[in-house]
Chains A and B, each alone.
Chain A
Amino acid sequence: MMATLTGAPPGTAPAQLQKAGPPRGPSRRAGGLGRIVGYLLLVVVALAVMIPFAWMISSSLKNNNQVFTVPIKWIPEELKLSNYTEIWSRIPLLTYLRNSAFLAVTITFLQVLTGSFAAYGFTKVRFPGRDALFLAYIATIAVPWQAYMIPQYIMMRKAGLTNTHLALILLQAFSAFGVFLMRQYYQSVPDEIVEAARIDGLSEWAIYRRIMLPLSVPAIASLSLLTFVNTWNDYMGPFIYLTDNKLWTVQLGLRSFVGQY
């Protein structure tokens, strides 16, 4: 896997450097019939995908005892818009939103930064022990969190970090997932680009910053999106680590709101 040269031949590299970012696919035009079939397929998928979301919206307009009914009633008899005003007055939703946003942004930023940094070390610098270390990274992903949750909690507690946002940031910002994703992406960047830059006298850090980072915009975008969504939706992590109501995230807040009825 060392000198992987999958994909782009060196000649295309400069073009990639300039145009990195916007979606680039095969530029062929699909034929008329294929296009219609494609659209139909997409519309069906898109609609199918929206059903649970429709249920969420419909539920949000109901009295609490009307949410789980058989059969599902898609359009509530009377719209209860007051749910939306009530949630603001019943729970400090703004605080929860702020906490969630803070955590998601910080964690995403750190994950992308340290992840892509480490990924560069794993792909473009060659040193002994590198592959074994990488294997250790991937291997830990295979252990379910439920298994080491308690030892991890005890460590955090001993370090006096439970009930702080810092605990969650430390827990989630250095996950192996980001390193893995970025590494796979960097593998598709030809080594020749890096080698050429080295010959031009650029330091490794400059190569990372001036060449690899701009090249990896699509991967960074994916990683940011996935990390952000995962952090935002995380329930168990904040539940175990955050006790003080002022620190709660939206996920915890919403569950407590539901539990109030």
Chain B
Amino acid sequence: MRRRTIKGLAVTATGALLIAGCSGGEGESATAADGRTALTVSVWNIEGTPEFNAEFDAYEEANPDIDIQPVDILADDYPEKVTAMLAGGDTTDVLTMKNVVDYARYASRGQLQDITELAESAPEGLEGLDAFDQDGKYFALPYRQDFWALYYNKGLFEELGLEVPAELTWEEYADLAKQITEEAAAAGITPAEGEKVYGTYHQIWRSLVHATAAAQTGGDQLSGEYEFFEPYYEWALDVQDAGATLDFATANSQQVTYRTMFTTEQAAMLPMGSWFIGALLQSKAAGESDVDWGIAKLPQASAGEDVTFGSPTAFAVNKNARSADAAADFVEWAAGPEGAKAVASVGATPALQSEEITEAFFALDGMPQDETSKAAFEPGEVALEMPVSEHTSDIDQILMEEHELIMTGSVPLEEGIAEMNRRVQDEVLSR
């Protein structure tokens, strides 16, 4: 009797193996209906990320024998889906690397093709390429490089009779944020949404404090010693305690976005990544917002410095790609001047920088034309947002948790930093 049950299970299991067994590859041919070579590219949110279509259209125009077929994935859980796809042996030709940490993971598992040769012949001025160096080998080329700057609402500054400073230290920035908050309240300026005009808005991401501190002080976010965060936290907490930004707890629990705060004119300033330029141009073109905006350099620790941080976005070739040659050609093209032009044409910041591209960028409809904005577009030094190592994501998680506790006031600053040191050393580095 029991044997029967076991036999039943055995039969079923064999069946499962059989089904699994007769799978095999999915055929070699990757030709579209009209005889062109089909090239599949994984992307996120293709409608909301216009540089994808700009690049694909330009590439297809230059290569009439290629038919690019985007594989659209929702942005929120993009890395998880790509992980699942690759685990199953997916054959999508080109994979977009949303961040460097995931890239390092796919590369170390051997899921990406070695394109070191392409990296060696990459054009001069390709920013962010170093981030993809894996012990001398390269498995992806960046096509886009974002960096952080300070956005400001020109209209609000004018209304209050304030000048937009071209350069600020963090201390000056904090004072300015407080000043704007007070003066806007005194002048009775109220935004269409929300309660009042804040001097600035701090997105809840830890990078605003941590990555800035690391970039501007030379501190290492993987070190397990985080005293260098301290002055940056002091500025951030100072602004928050003075009510010059929406408090962290509320912003976090109500899922407030920087986009809402800035486009509904609730915040006069906003430290944010350059990807926001494209979004601002888009929402202005769609008639959703008429904010008069500009950018300035990110505030610095002391006057005269010019360091910001950012992260590159890259294309890689899948190890299981069906059209590997075409895929490699596309990756190389996207990192080159033609690709950069396509990226810049929709207000995104290409990895390849040149005067020509900057000019084309500022010629876009809706771009600010002042000198401060143009200067901010060419930052002196762009540090990598978060260094890559096998510990990156674990440390990132710990820093995020402790950041939350410090910013919600659950833990005093010094205790929070001590806890960061302790946890990173005990739970990650000493393992």
Contact = CB atoms under 8 A, between A and B. Distances in A.
A and B interact physically? yes
A63 to B, nearest CB: 6
B195 A71 contact: yes
Interface in B1-56: 1-2, 4-5, 16, 19-21, 23, 26, 45, 47-48
A245 interface: yes
Contact of A256 (B47, B84, B194, B255): B47
A77 B4 contact: no
Given A128-B5, A260-B47, A70 B194 contact: yes
A69 interface: yes
Contacts of A255: 74, 76
Given A70-B195, A160-B23, A154 B288 contact: no
Interface in A33-75: 63-73
Nearest to B289: A65
B304 interface: no
B87 A259 contact: no
B71 to A, nearest CB: 6
A166 interface: no
B23 A240 contact: no
B48 A261 contact: yes
A65 B259 contact: yes
B135 interface: no
A239 B257 CA distance: 24
A256 B72 contact: yes
Contact of A154 (B88, B250, B264): B88
Given A65-B264, A69-B264, A154 B48 contact: no
B288 A65 contact: yes
Interface in A143-179: 149-150, 153-160, 162
Contacts of A240: 80-81, 84
B45 A159 contact: no
A256 B76 CA distance: 10
Contacts of B85: 243
A256 B193 contact: no
B246 interface: yes
Interface in A221-254: 236, 239-240, 243, 245, 252
B283 interface: yes
Contact of B87 (A65, A127, A132, A154): A154
B363 interface: no
Contacts of A159: 19-20, 23
B118 to A, nearest CB: 27
Interface in B66-90: 71-77, 80-81, 83-85, 87-90
A128 B264 contact: no
Q: From DSSP, what is the main secondary structure of chain A's interface residues? A: helix
A151 to B, nearest CB: 9
Nearest to A243: B71
Interface in A77-130: 77, 90, 127-129
A64 B151 CA distance: 20
Given A158-B23, A159-B20, A66 B260 contact: yes
Nearest to B87: A150
Given A65-B260, A150-B87, A153-B84, A70 B246 contact: yes
Nearest to A256: B74
Nearest to B288: A63
Contacts of B84: 149-150, 153, 240
B90 A245 contact: no
Given A155-B16, A155-B20, A160-B23, A69 B89 contact: no
Contacts of B81: 239-240
Contact of B88 (A133, A153, A245, A260): A153
Contacts of B76: 255, 259
Contacts of B369: none
Nearest to A259: B45
B256 A256 contact: no
Contact of A69 (B74, B75, B194): B194
B38 to A, nearest CB: 14
B47 A129 contact: no
A157 B80 CA distance: 16
Contacts of B251: 70
Contacts of B73: 243
B192 interface: yes
A101 B364 CA distance: 44
B288 A69 contact: no
Nearest to B8: A129
A194 B81 CA distance: 49
7 contacts: A71-B195, A127-B1, A132-B5, A154-B87, A155-B16, A236-B77, A245-B72
Given A155-B20, A158-B23, A260-B47, 4 more contacts: A129-B5, A153-B84, A156-B88, A259-B48
